[in-house]
Structure 1
Amino acid sequence: MAVNAVLKQKMHDLALTQDELAAQMNVALLEITGRPGDISVRTVRNLLSGATQRPIGRTRKALEQVFGCPLRDLGFEARSTASPPEDPVKRRHFITAGTALAFSSAHPALATPRRIGSSDVEGLQRRFADIIASDHRHGGQLGIEQKAAALSDEALVLQSTGTASQRIRGQVYASAAAFRSSAMWAAIDGRRFEDAIGHMQVAQQLAEMSGDPFIKFRIWSHAGTMYRHMGRAGDAAAANEVARGLSITRRDPMFASLGLARHAAIHGSAGDRTATRRAFDHAQDAMLRADHGAQRPVWMNAFYDQAELDSLALSAYLTLGDFARAEFHGHRCLAGLRPHMHRSKAIATARVALAQLEQGDVEPAVASAMSVPVDQAVRHPRVVGMLRTFSSRLDFMAQNTAAAQTWNQYARDTWRSIA
């Protein structure tokens, strides 16, 4: 598998990064088909590495549109039906015009710039709320990641094809950053960390252009969580410190509480018991001081409360091996979770099962593990991983017990993909 040096040089000639090429290909598909593309950074990486030697369908069309030449001129094995070369002038115009050209081609009636207003921003915010709801129900799914990234591109298309006040323009950039941060979170939750990093880089740029401190907090806080899950505690702490250093944590104790709770989880992953306990105490104090009726972004209102704080404590103390304290926070989390938090409930339940098992409470542990909803157990990467760990530990600690046999039979019959 050889690196595609021709494509790499073509990208260099046009000063395109992998993220930017993916974005340009999605714009090209919007021009060709009238709807946004779903090309990811992973697709571009496969094209460059040689893993994809003969792009077909939408990928081929997008490549040829962006570079204005057939596949064979991009270092690929092309079919004989490859599209003819595009006029170089048209190609340069496409690269320069970017999303504006794509949108006006797909929607001729909007070729004349229109005024972007509050109703457009409200429409983006409603679609963002739908993404948040999907994430809480399913979590970690590639489809959520791709949809969020496509909606971010749509917001940028809107941005580039209309006139707006500085305030509205900032809000549209903030919406694009918010969608991209949700794509980042879906990739984190699904353990697709390289893709998450790509989304993070785009989201950070958009957030800076928006000037919105709330979305900046979300992105950097997500970055801290991402690095924690990757086992990079130092990077996790540094990223989370950026979030905690924003002015909103001084103005609103609820944001301060979230920053402290996630920092406590980072301390837990680093094995620092004292710092973990201290940070959680401060996070709890900040939450008690917060005005719970204050107006906050939809993503913050949708998930952060006492139950989420306890969920982070459950994770941290489980990592530290303080299983009794972990179980205490786990039960308090489950008691306080709001009905729409399906993904969070499954994760917390699986963690409680592990905490119970490590304390030798085999039967309650098996009962907890068996109560994890099947759709989450077989689809959510984190839950699948935790239940696999549970199975391994159960076999090691209590292989011949009736409870273990019950679990193994249940796993074989119902959860074959995690058995």
Structure 2
Amino acid sequence: MDAVPNHVLTAWMKEQGYSSRELADRINRVVGELTGKPGGLDDSSIRAWRSGRVRCPKSAQRAALELVSGRTALALGFVRRTRTKDEEQPVDRRTFITAAATTAFTGGPAAGTAGPRRVGMADVALVQQRFSDIIASDHLHGGQLRIEMHAATLADETLALQRAGTASQRVRASLYAAAASFRSSAMWAAIDGRRFGDASNHMREAQVLAELSGDPAIKFRIWSHAGTMYRHMGRPVEAAAANDVARGLGLARRDPMFASLGLARHAAIYASAGDRSSVRRSFGHAREAMNRADPGEVRPVWLTAFYDAAEIDSLALSAYSLLGDWATAEAHGHRCLAGLRTHMVRSKAITTVRLARAQLEQREVESAVVTAKSVPADAAAGHPRVAVMLDAFGSRLDLIAPESGPADEWRAHMVRVKV
């Protein structure tokens, strides 16, 4: 019989933000903690489920999947398994449910089992891998509520791991840092999606966790995000104060790469306040600091995944647009797009819209529409920030060249995108 792809499972994994590796790791942990035997799933196992080559998982894996998902295997697109006499005995689902009540991230032991487990750096490594997956998802999609909620859930599960067993001070500090990292990603997704009230709530929780961790890098990230949040809210005084906290950390004085990011974001804040000379000076200092940074230095994945010369040009594009210097903004837009790494899908969409706006404001109407139309349809319709920016582009186009052919072309294009 030909394999029938399990589209239901695939859709659920996409909705929840699971990669094949992440789901395999999650299920293996639950199986291992609740049966005493490590789970044996890997990326290829999950791909076999999705492709239909395996029509239903084995009983322990199936029960673990149902606990992780909150759905039955049948509801996830699997078929009912016919058990042979040689097949393993089914796992008692009530045992799983009882244990799951005391489990979050790894499935700590239920009451009545052998004592608390030892939480170690191997657990921390798994948590950090999941954080890397969140970062990758953000750069692909950005601003989505599901990313925000998934990151917040992982923060809570990481804290629950603290209660799953005994751990050294080093491990506990690392787990607090990881929980703060997840919360800061939830904060960033909310900022990117223009859900500023939710972003503020995530910020407060992230700040507490960062203090508990003592990790200066995550403290920098949270305060730097706060500066960006206040800038987008139109509150440049608070934005500058928050970014100053990040820039004042010892880490920013020791590592020029962190100093560079702080300076570049401060330049964008200066633009919000209309301070043209400070914008130019701060971007110059940001580039100088980046050139001094040691490329071999080990830095957090959240920083290395996005911060480079292209990001400075992205911030400069935004800053000079705010100042109304559209020609300079356009130049930075072209430089940014030329330097963006391939995984920066969300950033490419935002930069493209900003570039189109810079062209439009210089009355390059035809070029502006061609540029704006190059934004992928999924970003144009599905990313909150991109959608708002494109609406603003259309409004300006209607004012600048309402009866033009490019304007008619743009309106027809947007009708197709929004269908």
Please give the TM-score of this superposition, normalised by the length of structure 1. Answer: 0.74
Q: 1:267 aligns to what?
A: 270
Letter paired with 1:146: M
Structure 1 distance, partners of 2:114, 2:327, is: 63
Per-residue deviation at 1:274?
1.0
Q: Partners of 2:114 and 2:255 in 1: how far apart?
A: 43
- Aligned with residue 286 of structure 2, among 279, 283, 288: 283
What's the offset of the Cα at 1:200?
A: 0.4
Q: 1:164 to 1:364 in 2, by over 3 A?
A: same
1:240 counterpart residue number: 243
Q: Which of 340, 343, 348 is 1:345 aligned to?
A: 348
| Residues 217, 246 of structure 1: 8 Å contact kept | yes
Alignment of 1:199-214 (within 5 A): 199-214=202-217
- What is the aligned counterpart of 2:315 among 312, 316, 333? 312
Match of 1:136 in 2: 139
CA contact (8 A) 1:159 1:169 kept: yes
Q: Partners in 2 of 1:105 and 1:290 — Cα distance? A: 42
Offset of 1:260 from its aligned partner? 0.4
**Residues 109 and 115 in structure 2, CA contact (< 8 A), matched pair in contact too:** no
Question: Match of 2:294, SS?
Answer: coil
Q: 5 Å matches for 1:13-28?
A: none
Q: Give the partner amino acid of 2:390.
A: L
Q: Which of 366, 391, 394 is the equivalent residue of 2:394? A: 391
The one-letter code of the counterpart of 2:251 is I
2:406 equivalent among 390, 403, 409: 403
- Distance apart, 1:107 and its partner CA: 4.4
Who is 1:185 aligned against? 188
Q: For 2:226, which of 223, 227, 248 is the aligned residue?
A: 223
Aligned residue for 2:383?
380
Amino acid at match of 1:319: L
Q: Distance in 2 between matches of 1:402 and 1:362?
A: 10
Confirm or deny: 8 A CA contact 1:307 1:332 kept in the other structure: yes
2:10 corresponds to: none
Cα 1:100–1:134 change in 2 (3 A) is: same
SS in 1 for 2:341: coil
Query: What does the per-residue CA deviation read over 1:243-289, in whole Å, with 9 as the maximum and x for residues that have no partner?
Result: 00011111111100000000000111111111111111110111111
Q: Greater helix percent: which structure?
A: 1
Contact 1:100–1:161, Cα closer than 8 Å, also in 2: no
**Deviation (angstroms), 1:409:** 1.6
1:120 to 119, 123, 126: 123
Residue 323 of structure 1 contacts residue 355 of structure 1 at CA under 8 Å; is this kept in 2? yes
Question: Counterpart of 1:324?
Answer: 327
Runs of 4 or more off by more than 6 Å in structure 1? none
Q: 1:172 aligns with which of 155, 172, 175?
A: 175
Are residues 1:336 and 2:339 paired? yes
Q: Is the 8 A contact 1:149 1:183 kept in 2?
A: yes
Number of aligned residue pairs: give it. Answer: 323
Task: Write the distance in 2 (CA, Å) between the matches of 1:193 and 1:169.
Answer: 30
Distance 2:318 2:347 in 1: 12
Q: Secondary structure at the match of 1:390?
A: helix
> Could you tell me how far apart the structure 1 residues matched to 2:393 and 2:296 are?
39
| Contact kept in structure 2, 1:105 and 1:111, CA below 8 Å | no
Cα deviation, residue 401, structure 1: 1.5
Moved more, 331-340 or 396-405: 396-405
Q: What per-residue deviation string (whole Å, max 9, x for no partner) do you get for residues 197-256 of structure 1?
A: 000000000000000000000000000000111111111100000000011111111100
- 1:111 and 1:393 map into 2 onto residues whose CA distance is 67
Q: Distance in 1 between matches of 2:114 and 2:313?
A: 52
Contact 1:136 1:341 in 2 (8 A): yes
Contact 1:34–1:106 (Cα < 8 Å) also in 2 = no
CA contact (8 A) 1:315 1:351 kept: yes
Tell me how far 1:112 sits from its aligned partner.
2.2
Deviation digits for residues 321-364 of structure 1 (CA, Å, limit 9, x no counterpart): 01011011111000000000000000000000000000111111
| In structure 1, distance between residues paired with 2:227 and 2:350 | 19
Asked if the contact 2:381/2:417 (under 8 Å) is kept, the reply is: no
Q: TM-score when scaled to structure 2?
A: 0.74
Q: 1:360: which partner in 2?
A: 363
Paired amino acid for 1:317: Y
Contact 1:311 1:333 in 2 (8 A): yes
- Percentage identity across aligned positions? 64
Distance 1:198 1:241, change over 3 A: same
